[in-house]
A and B are shown apart, each in its own frame.
Chain A
Amino acid sequence: MKCEQAMEAILRLDNGAEPDATTQGHLSNCPRCRAEYSQLRRALDGLTKSLENASDVSAPDDLHRRKQVADRIMSAVRAEAERVAARQTDSGSQLRRQTAPASQNLAGGTGWIAYSTWISVGVLLLLGIIVLPYTEGFLFLRGVMERDLDAPLALTLGLVMSGYWALFIGTHIADLRRRLRRLHRAFSRA
């Protein structure tokens, strides 16, 4: 085996792999290749370890922050485990179990209904209420009652929409807070 061939084999080595027997044979006979191999190995070994010991975060309370993040992860994990357990014991929620893929519930508790569903249902609700005064049934009602129903209608519209969006915000509070925080950071940086 020639020196170049041996070096090529060494360069193609995977992480944690040792040179094959032919290359080993060459290395034991060729001091130059042996020296180069050992130098390359010393340069690469422990590269990750040295980075792991290094601090990626300039804050001095690095370790403390990591612990906090781990605590946050664990409380999210616990909440998820409890949710799954509650769902399993809740015999009346067969349908929900089928329609709720666990992977959708990420950090921040986006719930088991997607954002798009919430928004489209909200828009449909709004459109329904806006169109309502022009429907035949409503016109009939107005004729029977003999009075203008605009004020009670506006009141109902307000109440229904407020309730709906309050429910939405309540079930998504953690995720929304995170998104707002990110938006705030983006603005303050700009």
Chain B
Amino acid sequence: MQSQHESNTHDTDTESPAALELSDVVIVERVLAGEVELFRILVDRYQRPVYRLGFRFFRAVEDVEDYVQDVFLKAYLRLSQFCRRGRFYSWLMRIAYTHGIDRSGRKKSLVTTEYLDSPDPRQGTEETALRSLAREELRAAVADLPQPAGACVDLFFFFELTHKEVSRIVGIRVNTVKSHICRAKRRLRERLANTQAEAYYEV
């Protein structure tokens, strides 16, 4: 049993194209069957969003790194509890969100931090301008809203989770989540309309 486990642990090539194309569910099943090294693919795939969420709870990079490590190890330890019907990503984000609240001692609140925007190759296009406007407005919405409404908006727009997934993560009803998000979208819509009107008058 042990020798088989060990050979699996060290022989799996996680950087081969075939391994990189594996779906999350297949990887989870193979990790549970003993191919521990394949877990690395899941770490590489989802490290960034967990990192970003970490910055909502902690300011120091070292704290965020410890947090990311804990979240993935927790996920590994609970891998057998992963229900294959849902997305692995949303299951992981649930662990990450709960762990963030437990570790940082904050109750259902997220600290929003400013991101450093990367230079976009299509900088100056209307697309980029629209997107940065949306980002700015939604960030302001997250900051203005009381919790857990702010967390709902944050997770929906900046982490691409669905209404149902956000509801499961934050622990509030789907309809409440929907109305928080709808309100944020309405706010964004108004902002977009105003900007358009301003641009019209400037011309």
Residues of A that sit less than 8 Å from B by CB: 7, 11-12, 14-16, 36, 39-40, 42-44, 46-48, 50-59, 65-66, 69-70, 72-74, 76-78, 80-81, 85-86, 88-89, 102-103, 105-107, 178, 181-182, 185
Determine if B78 and A15 form an interchain contact, defined as CB atoms under 8 angstroms apart.
no
Determine if A80 and B76 form an interchain contact, defined as CB atoms under 8 angstroms apart.
yes
Determine if B162 and A15 form an interchain contact, defined as CB atoms under 8 angstroms apart.
yes
Chain B count of residues within 8 A CB distance of the other chain: 65
A14 to B48, CA, bound (A): 23
Determine if A185 and B69 form an interchain contact, defined as CB atoms under 8 angstroms apart.
no
The one of B44, B130, B178 in contact with A43, judged by C-beta atoms closer than 8 angstroms, is: B130
Q: Which residues of B contact A43 (CB under 8 A)?
A: 130-131, 133-134, 188, 192
Q: Is B15 an interface residue (CB 8 A)?
A: no
A46 to B127, CA, bound (A): 10
- Selecting from B16-24, B55-63, B143-151, the interface stretch reads B55-63
- Chain B residue nearest to A79 (CB atoms) is B73
Given contacts A43-B134, A47-B131, A89-B1, contact A66 B51 (CB under 8 A): yes
Determine if B43 and A73 form an interchain contact, defined as CB atoms under 8 angstroms apart.
yes
Determine if A15 and B76 form an interchain contact, defined as CB atoms under 8 angstroms apart.
no
| Min CB–CB distance A14 → chain B (angstroms) | 5
What is the total of A-B residue contacts with beta carbons within 8 Å? 152
- Chain A residue nearest to B163 (CB atoms) is A14
Given contacts A15-B156, A70-B44, A103-B77, contact A185 B60 (CB under 8 A): yes
A70 to B76, CA, bound (A): 13
Most buried by B among A53, A57, A59, A81: A81
Determine if B116 and A56 form an interchain contact, defined as CB atoms under 8 angstroms apart.
yes
| Min CB–CB distance A13 → chain B (angstroms) | 9
A40 to B157, CA, bound (A): 13
- Chain A residue nearest to B183 (CB atoms) is A11
The one of B43, B55, B135 in contact with A56, judged by C-beta atoms closer than 8 angstroms, is: B55
Determine if A106 and B159 form an interchain contact, defined as CB atoms under 8 angstroms apart.
no
Q: Which residues of B contact A39 (CB under 8 A)?
A: 130, 192, 196
Determine if A72 and B77 form an interchain contact, defined as CB atoms under 8 angstroms apart.
no
Given contacts A89-B2, A182-B63, contact A66 B47 (CB under 8 A): yes
Determine if B51 and A40 form an interchain contact, defined as CB atoms under 8 angstroms apart.
no
Determine if B9 and A59 form an interchain contact, defined as CB atoms under 8 angstroms apart.
no
Q: Which residues of A contact B159 (CB under 8 A)?
A: 48
Determine if A44 and B134 form an interchain contact, defined as CB atoms under 8 angstroms apart.
yes
